[in-house]
Structure 1
Amino acid sequence: MTSYNPKEWFSFIFQVSKADTIRKLFPMMIFIGIYSGAIGYLEIVYWDLPKDSYVKNISVMHSMLGFVISLLLAYRTNTAYDRWWEGRRLWGGLVNSSRNLAIKLSVILKDESDRTYFRKIIPGYASILQKHLTDSDTAKQLFDDVDLEIDHHKHRPNQVAKMLFHKVNDLYVSKKITGDQLIIINAELQSFTDICGACERIKNTPIPYSYSAFIKKFIFIYVLTLPFAYVFILGYFVIPVVVFIFYVLASLELIAEEIEDPFGTDDNDLPTKKIAENIKKHIEELI
């Protein structure tokens, strides 16, 4: 995730970052510019259409559809941001659950070996979940002194959650914790799996294909018809104008595409790896 100061206006205006959509859209912008120039040449020079040509009235269609496309893009962007923000809330919940579990265990447990185990395994769940959501390979040994024999063909976060609960149950059987204490820490243990399931729901349920495909086609056709009408008003200045309109509309769709899956490695995705590292740091301070 890109860190920035929202008050630095000039850096936003003049700096082109890796997350800037102009990098991805530049080839298409070149094509739109050439296409607009070709339409302008045909209408002004080759066909020599008069100023009162009916082709000029195509702008009426743009006025009517401009409101529709703005509603579609606003809904598309808001929906994508809601998914991004929900993902951030879920990982914030994982931070809180990890801290609460560590605080309770730090008071309950007296055996140093048990404290050491949870000092490693609690942040291990966050690390496994981060790698699970980004589809990256998970090492069998995440931390020193804790070997996690993970079956890569099975659900990895569930395996770590099972190890957590298995350890807690062993503590109960060996009389190191009471039944009431088991109930107290059960809420945090259960929340780990709940958070994992909610993150998987976001990741595995993209925006419906038909909706996303329709917006892309709508933007493309809308932009391709712009030069026909506005060349009578703007002349060859229609080239930069149409290119800029395409850049704005297509950028909104690209931004929505990027943030609707907040658990990837794009510049605007959530810093899940950093959050997992912070969880490890806080747990080591608490236990």
Structure 2
Amino acid sequence: MMIYNPKDWWKLIFYFHKADTFRKLLPAMLGVMAYTAVFSYLENDVFHFMPIKNPLAVHSLVGFVLSLLLVFRTNSSYDRWWEGRKIWGSFTNNSRNLALKLNAFLPENHESKEVFRVLIGNYLQAVKDHLRDNTNPKHLAFVNKFDESFYENHKHMPNRIGQAIYLEINQLAKNGLLNPEQLLILNTELTSFTDNLGACERIKNTPIPSSYNIFIKKMIFLYVFTMPIGFVLEFKYWAIPIVTLVFYAFAGIEMIAEEIEDPFGTDNNDLALDTIVKNVKGNLAEILRN
């Protein structure tokens, strides 16, 4: 995720980072520019087509409808991005709450505090890797019986770590270190981990319906590549920058929507999951000190 100052207008206007839509769309913009230039030349200097009355009327109406579709598309994608951020905020809060409660319930300097520090941190690490399709046990920390062999031959690593947390909680209850009332208090945070993971998987595995996505792209293509018909008659060679600018605006909005509809990746506009996980691990280390 790119960190920036939203009030620095001039820097943002003239800043073109590697994920900026301008750079990604530049080859297509040059193609649209060349296409419009050829059409302008043929109309203005070669064929001189019969003038069309109100040549911009159709594109004005279609452009309005297309703008509404893009607004809906962007809002839908942003809702997914913001829901993902709220879910990871819940991960952060519940991890801290669970650590605070365990620290209060368990005896001072008890070895299970270190176990939970590692397991809770591992859970968030595993969820992040799982959502990025990059599950790797080597990214985890190991402690006591929950060593590397405990995670072997398990594809869904968050579930395996969740199982380890429940096993440790159950063992503490059997040893009399946690009473039924304390188990009930811990249950909210423990359940929330799986609920949050399921919500993240729902976002990741349920993209915008393909028919809607394809329709918008087709409409943008048809709209832009028929624009010269009316705009060249009205604006002559000035149609070249006008059509290119309209293409950049519409295609750029669609590209932004595509990027933020899956907020768990590593693109500049995705959530800063690496930072979130690192901060939570630091919090856990402070809370569950032996």
Pair 1:94 & 2:95 matched = no
Q: Distance in 1 between matches of 2:285 and 2:180?
A: 26
Q: Decide whether the 8 Å contact of 2:21 with 2:255 is kept in 1.
A: yes
Q: Deviations over 1:254-283 (max 9, x none)?
A: 000000000011000001111011110001
Query: Shift in Å at residue 119 of structure 1?
Result: 1.3
Q: CA RMSD in A?
A: 1.3
1:121 aligned partner, one-letter code: L
The range that moved more, 226-235 or 239-248, is 226-235
Q: Does 1:104 align with 2:105?
A: no
- Could you tell me which residue of structure 1 aligns to residue 63 of structure 2? 66
Report matched runs for 1:130-209 at 5 Å. Answer: 130-140=128-138, 142-143=140-141, 145=143, 147-148=147-148, 149-151=150-152, 153-209=154-210
Matched residue type, 1:187: T
Match of 1:49 in 2: 49
Structure-2 separation of matches of 1:153 and 1:117: 20
User: Number of paired residues?
Assistant: 284
Counterpart in the other structure of 2:22: 22
TM-score of the superposition, structure 1-length normalised?
0.95
Deviation by residue 1:23-64 (Cα, 9 ceiling, x = unmatched): 1111111110010011111111121225xx12x544211111
CA distance in 1, matches of 2:231, 2:155: 58
1:188 is displaced (CA, Å) by 0.5
What do the CA deviations read for 1:124-167 (whole angstroms, capped 9, x no partner)?
A: 10001000001113124622535243245532111111110111
Instruction: Identify if the C-alpha distance between structure 1 residues 6 and 152 changes in structure 2 by more than 3 Å, giving closer, same or farther.
Output: farther
The alpha-carbon distance between structure 1 residues 252 and 275, as it changes in their structure 2 partners (threshold 3 A), is same
CA distance 1:152–1:32, change in 2 (3 Å): farther
Is the 1:97–1:188 contact (alpha carbons within 8 Å) kept by the matching residues of 2? yes
The 3 A distance-change label for structure 1 pair 195 and 232 is same
Deviations 1:63-101 (A, max 9, x none): 111110111000000000000000000000000100000
Alignment partner of 1:190: what SS? helix
What TM-score do the two structures reach when normalised by structure 2?
0.95
The question of 1:238 aligning with 2:235 is answered no
Paired with 2:245 and 2:159, the residues of 1 have a C-alpha distance of 48
Distance 1:170 1:236 in 2: 78
SS of 1:82's partner is helix
Q: Which 5+ residue runs of structure 2 have no aligned equivalent?
A: none
For 1:118, the equivalent position in structure 2 comes to: 116
Tell me the secondary structure at the aligned position of residue 151 of structure 2. coil
